[in-house]
């Protein structure tokens, strides 16, 4: 008989966790809802392009993202963050994945597809820079949703997102400059950035985006948990309050997808070939980063929930920041801005598919003895295996 620490969930496969067929209607057909929301958004933007104005004026995308992130951050057990940040093995691995492997991989893909060095693939400087803007922006938003759906550790993903946010304020501008303007001429690609004005991405721009897309829902989630657990108790909060706010994540995700794609519906329909061209390197990036990062987490002996948090944190990107900076520097009608907008168009379905891949890995691999990064939470119970 051996004891293992097990995290229950609707997809874990054990008898006590129930059958996946018992998932609620929204969860069970999530893929259908997301693709439907994408189609509605693109169609709305194409039929009524004037809808972009009200969406931007009312900040509907921002509201949707904040609402989408609030439940996972309200569910996080912040008492565990000290243990998260004290695990230098996990933080070091995430640092390498997010700030060395990720940017380098995106730069390599941008060079291959848009530098003009590969026969049959003409140089597209605006798309090259767009990929750089995306690749250097590490995720602080939707990764919370993907991690939640894949039953990853909320505490670890919260800690890693906070860690990336602080690092991003200090490094984003330097990374964009290094990979977008400094490195290409050194590799013989002078013409790639010829004629493009030197741009200045300030720490203030990065900080503003992080405050909006992470600071607001983080403060809301933290205060909700603090007040709720102290006024009503931990049991009431976990068993009564959390289930009530849980559906907000997926509802807000669908709303965000609709309004976000509606703002670019006309452009997407007008240039489907360019969308597909940009989609190829982005898809490769998301899949490779997830599989490599997931494998690295499994390789150091991390448990499933921690490995999943590591994998999705590394595979996702902060497209909100990339879009905001690209529009501010090059304008809303530029090819650079268009590339950054295509980012979430590709990320949403690809990362949703990777959620299913993660859940398959949860069932397929033996996680017995995987204790690195494991946190002592009420979600874990000790079971015996024959």
Per residue in 130-189, pLDDT (tens digit) is 999 999 988 766 788 889 889 998 888 888 887 777 777 778 888 888 898 888 888 888
What's the confidence (pLDDT) of residue 100? 94
What's the confidence (pLDDT) of residue 23? 44
Read off the pTM. 0.75
What's the confidence (pLDDT) of residue 200? 62
What's the confidence (pLDDT) of residue 283? 96
Domain boundaries, the chain: 26-367
Query: For each of the chain's 386 residues, which pLDDT tens digit applies?
Result: 333 334 444 334 443 343 333 345 666 666 788 788 888 988 998 898 888 888 878 888 778 878 887 887 888 777 767 777 788 888 889 889 999 999 999 999 999 999 888 888 888 888 999 999 999 988 766 788 889 889 998 888 888 887 777 777 778 888 888 898 888 888 888 777 665 655 666 667 667 777 777 678 888 888 998 999 999 998 999 889 988 888 888 888 888 888 878 877 887 888 888 889 999 999 999 999 999 999 999 998 889 999 999 999 999 887 777 877 777 677 666 788 788 888 877 888 899 899 999 999 999 998 887 676 666 554 443 333 33
Closest by CA to 214, choosing from 273, 157, 150, is 157
What's the confidence (pLDDT) of residue 256? 82
Topology given in CATH for the domain delimited by 26-367 = Na+/H+ antiporter like fold (1.20.1530)
């Amino acid at each position: 008989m051996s004891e293992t620490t097990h995290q229950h969930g609707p997809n874990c496969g054990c008898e006590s966790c129930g059958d996946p067929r018992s998932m609620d209607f929204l969860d069970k057909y999530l893929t259908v809802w997301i693709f439907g929301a994408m189609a509605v958004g693109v169609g709305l933007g194409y039929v009524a392009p004037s809808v972009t104005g009200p969406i931007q004026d009312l900040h509907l995308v921002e509201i949707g993202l904040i609402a989408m992130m609030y439940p996972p951050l309200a569910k996080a057990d912040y008492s565990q963050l000290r243990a998260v940040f004290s695990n230098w093995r996990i933080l070091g691995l995430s640092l390498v994945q997010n700030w060395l492997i990720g940017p380098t991989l995106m730069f390599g893909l941008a060079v291959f597809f848009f530098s003009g060095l590969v026969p049959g693939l003409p140089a597209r400087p605006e798309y090259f820079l767009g990929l750089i803007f995306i690749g250097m922006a590490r995720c602080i938003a939707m990764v919370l949703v993907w991690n939640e759906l894949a039953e990853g550790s909320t505490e670890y993903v919260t800690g890693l997102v906070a860690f990336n946010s602080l690092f991003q304020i200090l490094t984003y501008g330097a990374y964009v400059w290094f990979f977008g303007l400094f490195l290409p001429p050194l590799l013989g690609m002078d013409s790639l950035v010829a004629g493009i004005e030197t741009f200045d991405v300030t720490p203030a721009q990065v900080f503003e985006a992080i405050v909006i897309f992470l600071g607001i829902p983080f403060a809301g989630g933290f205060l909700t948990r603090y007040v709720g657990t102290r006024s009503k108790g931990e049991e009431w909060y976990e068993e009564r309050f959390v289930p009530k706010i849980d559906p907000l994540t997926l509802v807000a995700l669908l709303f965000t997808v609709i309004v976000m794609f509606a703002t670019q519906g006309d452009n997407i329909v007008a240039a489907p070939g360019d969308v597909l061209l940009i989609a190829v390197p982005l898809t490769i990036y998301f899949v490779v980063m997830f599989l490599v990062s997931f494998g690295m987490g499994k390789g150091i002996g991390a448990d499933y929930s921690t490995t999943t948090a590591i994998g999705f944190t590394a595979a996702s990107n902060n497209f909100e920041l990339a879009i905001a900076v690209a529009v501010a520097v090059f304008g809303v009608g530029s090819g650079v801005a268009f590339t950054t907008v295509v980012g979430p168009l590709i990320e949403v379905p690809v990362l949703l598919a990777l959620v299913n891949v993660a859940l398959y890995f949860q069932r397929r691999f033996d996680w017995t003895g995987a204790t690195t990064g494991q946190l002592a939470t009420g979600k874990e119970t000790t079971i015996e295996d024959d």
